[in-house]
Structure 1
Amino acid sequence: MPDPARLRVENVVLTHLDAAYSLARWLVRAPHFAEDVVQEAVLRGLSYFASFRGEDGRAWLMRIVRNTAYTMLAARRQGGQAAEQGQGLDGDMVRNLPDTGEGPDAALSRLEDAARLEQALAALPIELRECIVLKELEELSYKEIAQVTGVPIGTVMSRLWRARRALLVQEGAAGEER
């Protein structure tokens, strides 16, 4: 018979590890550092799991990941280490995607689009980037984003509007350069 506590941990924490890594990667912008953040966040989550009251497990874990990322970034800065910048999509991973049957022009266009999106997101201030990642990539609701970030829903909506507007402005500027 499965242990109920173990099943509860698996349902609350383990099912959301991909989302946790995605958020951490976008916040710290370095894949290996993001892995460390998620590992530390999961350890923190497990140590405080007894205080989990059954609210939204995904939002609960994402908030821990967010707080852990900011704590580890601050510790890194205070320790004299610069956060790894410019870490975009893993180049080898993107180049080794299986052929979808599209021609080389379409594949190149897709890679260029991904690179532009990566640059545009990286250029956003972190509070805007975290909101847009949580909404558009992790598909959290406004309420869940408010829980994760610890700000009112109105602030979430405002940040999303500002992030989307900034992305549109950047796309317009990129279009003029092409």
Structure 2
Amino acid sequence: MNETLRFEELIVPHLDAAYNLARWLTRNDATAQEVVQESCLRALKALPRFRGDDARAWLLTIVRNQSYSWLKKTAGPRLVDIDDETGLDDDDQARLSHKETPETWLSRTQDRMLLTQTLDALPATYREVIVLKDLEDMSYKEIAQVIGTPLGTVMSRLARGREMLRTRLLASEWTT
């Protein structure tokens, strides 16, 4: 099998997960796209040496390393993408239907924004394990492989991160 076909088979199915991880780590859509592109180039170059059976974990390890490399290079303020003038992304526009009232849409959107902002504010070591476990549905073993730590550390970080998230969400509930 040539390397292009092997790349398409092993790596392409995991591009959404790669982007998701890069986005949560870098906190920037454009940067996440660049990180994933660079990670894919690195994966393609290293593919002849890849002998593992978990291409997703391998790719996400590369994405994680690339994301942290980018974070080290940039010490300034992060750029934030601004939505169009409606403030709605394509998913929100598609979901706002005649059956949903503006009040229920606003409540749902605010809840999602609060969760996103709160998760985004967590330290990267906790944010990454929450993203990999709860959003990407990876096993503890896969996460340990991606972040290069023992299984117990993954479990500890996940528990602490979830507790930090819960505490911060409850605190914000009292202030709103």
Settle same-fold status: TM greater than 0.5.
yes
In the alignment, structure 2 segments of 5+ residues that lack a partner are: none
Equivalences for residues 30-49 of structure 1 within 5 A: 30-49=28-47
Relative to structure 1, the CA distance from residue 75 to residue 50 in structure 2 (aligned partners, 3 Å threshold; closer, same or farther) is same
- Counterpart position of 2:78: 84
Picking from 28, 49, 52, the partner of 1:51 is 49
CA deviation vs aligned residue, 1:26-80 (integer Å, no higher than 9, x gap): 0000000110100000001111111111320100000000001111221223xxx
Q: Please report how far the alpha carbon of residue 176 of structure 1 lies from its aligned counterpart in structure 2 after TM superposition.
A: 1.4
Picking from 48, 67, 88, the partner of 1:69 is 67
Report how many residues are paired. 172
Deviates more, 1:128-137 or 1:86-95: 86-95
In the alignment, structure 1 segments of 5+ residues that lack a partner are: none
Report SS of the residue matched to 2:52.
coil
- Counterpart position of 2:96: 99
Picking from 158, 171, 175, the partner of 1:173 is 171
- Counterpart position of 1:141: 139
In the aligned structure 2, how far is the partner of 1:68 from the partner of 1:88?
25
The answer (yes or no) to whether the contact 1:29–1:88 under 8 Å persists in 2 is no
In the aligned structure 2, how far is the partner of 1:85 from the partner of 1:112?
21
The answer (yes or no) to whether the contact 2:3–2:48 under 8 Å persists in 1 is no
Q: Please report how far the alpha carbon of residue 83 of structure 1 lies from its aligned counterpart in structure 2 after TM superposition.
A: 4.9
The answer (yes or no) to whether the contact 2:64–2:147 under 8 Å persists in 1 is yes
Q: Please report how far the alpha carbon of residue 95 of structure 1 lies from its aligned counterpart in structure 2 after TM superposition.
A: 4.5
CA deviation vs aligned residue, 1:84-110 (integer Å, no higher than 9, x gap): 155699944154333243211111011
Q: CA RMSD in A?
A: 2.0
Per the normalisation by structure 1, the TM-score is: 0.89
Per the normalisation by structure 2, the TM-score is: 0.90
The answer (yes or no) to whether the contact 2:19–2:36 under 8 Å persists in 1 is yes
In the aligned structure 1, how far is the partner of 2:20 from the partner of 2:155?
21
In the aligned structure 1, how far is the partner of 2:123 from the partner of 2:171?
18
